[in-house]
Amino acid sequence: MLVEDIMRKEVMTLKKDATIKDAIQLLEEKRIRHLPIVDESFSLIGIVSDRDIRDARPSIFTIEKESTTLEQSIETLMKKEVITAHPLDFIQDVSSLFYENHIGCLPIIDQNKLVGILTEKEILYSLIELIGANQPSSHIEVSVPNRTGVLADVAAIFKKNKTNIVSVIVRPAKHSTNQILVFRIQTIDPRRVVDEIRSSGYDVLWPNIPGGKQ
């Protein structure tokens, strides 16, 4: 899945000569948390978040200073070093940017122009779709040795039982050299296939169903 498949293409923006008051009004009106700042050619020059504005606002008891702050240019508040992505980047790759940099959004740039924005919400929704959690299915975790072909071997058990695999994720086990295969399969009753996986010598971590065919 690519960034262009899930990014928001209608992006609320401000020019650098807009005021902090303008930013507050737009954030509240559109119920958003981030505002890219662009120049006349729609090139990205900075970004401001609701947190930036909260941190910059003086106490409610200093009314005079509050008025002065609100009339300042948004340029005085915006972050100029902005992490961005491209529409043809893979979702898996840009997800790591959110994780590593502790950010809440990514402006999407193509040919030096702002063409979209990606937030944590879009990332979450795409993850749900990628793993098939939005479909009627069952979750199965199998501990397997880290060797070539083991995924195909376990997948063959699903095929034998005429059970479709919705998604599969491979992750390392925490306390061994094994790997964990995380499947979502297209059935709401996985008992028979779980029993056969165990009979084939694999450790089924989830679901924790007692042995014995049913």
Q: Domain containing 94 — which CATH number?
A: 3.10.580.10
Same domain? 121 vs 156: no
Q: In this structure, how many other beta carbons lie within 10 angstroms of the beta carbon of residue 197?
A: 22
Indicate the residue among 100, 127, 154 that finishes a domain. 127
Total number of domains constituting the chain: 2
Same domain? 110 vs 155: no
Question: Reduced to 3 states, what is the DSSP secondary structure of residue 180?
Answer: strand
Same domain? 26 vs 107: yes
Same domain? 33 vs 97: yes
Name the percent of the chain lying above pLDDT 70.
Answer: 93
| Residue 66, pLDDT score | 58
Same domain? 115 vs 140: no
Q: How far is CA 41 from the centre of its chain?
A: 29
104 and 120 Cβ atoms separated by less than 8 Å: yes
Query: Kind of pairing, strands 34-38 and 14-15?
Result: parallel
Same domain? 90 vs 25: yes
Q: In this structure, how many other beta carbons lie within 10 angstroms of the beta carbon of residue 112?
A: 9
Same domain? 48 vs 95: yes
State which residues form the domain around 52.
3-127
Indicate the residue among 58, 92, 127 that finishes a domain. 127
| Residue 62, pLDDT score | 55
Same domain? 39 vs 100: yes
Confidence of residue 65 (pLDDT cuts 50, 70, 90): low
Record the pTM: 0.81
Q: Is the pLDDT of residue 212 over 60?
A: no
| Residue 190, pLDDT score | 96
Question: Reduced to 3 states, what is the DSSP secondary structure of residue 146?
Answer: coil
In a domain, 182, yes or no: yes
